[in-house]
Structure 1
């Protein structure tokens, strides 16, 4: 009986991990695209010197190291914390 419960828990964990990974990829790609659009718009509106591609590439490198990009990792942390709290609450409260 305990083995069946454990396999159900592992299956749930695998499905949750796959869903979080899909959500992470989608949000990450969307956020990067939004940043690219903003950089392209900035370059055009301000009439900055140099090539637009170089400006956008440099801006995206800054974005890759930014705190905002790291916040997207909360897609993994928040659901796991919620599930952990629910398990704790059901078993120990």
Structure 2
């Protein structure tokens, strides 16, 4: 049981690092696209990018990155179940 807890703690730490890296990368890509799509008719560049990033914060893509936590834990649960109860 202690070994499983150590494994889960290690996996949680790795998933957190991956989540942070994916979040920063995705936000950086979104910022770059917003600056490339900006035209002077859209107003100030900083305001345009800020509004675009605010919309990104509420987007589905941002929420899908949380799958970094969900998928591995579900996979571990299925493996443990199949190993012990099949």
TM-score range with shorter-chain normalisation?
Answer: over 0.9
Choose the corresponding residue for 2:35, options 26, 37, 40: 40
CA contact (8 A) 2:42 2:48 kept: no
Query: Once superposed, what is the RMSD of the aligned Cα atoms?
Result: 0.9
- Number of aligned positions between the proteins: 86
Structure 1 gaps of 5+ residues are: 1-5
Equivalent position SS for 1:16: helix
Q: How does 1:1-93 map to 2 (within 5 A)?
A: 6-43=1-38, 46-93=39-86
Q: Which has the larger radius of gyration?
A: 1
Structure 2 gaps of 5+ residues are: none
- CA drift at 1:47: 3.9
Q: TM-score, normalised by structure 2?
A: 0.96
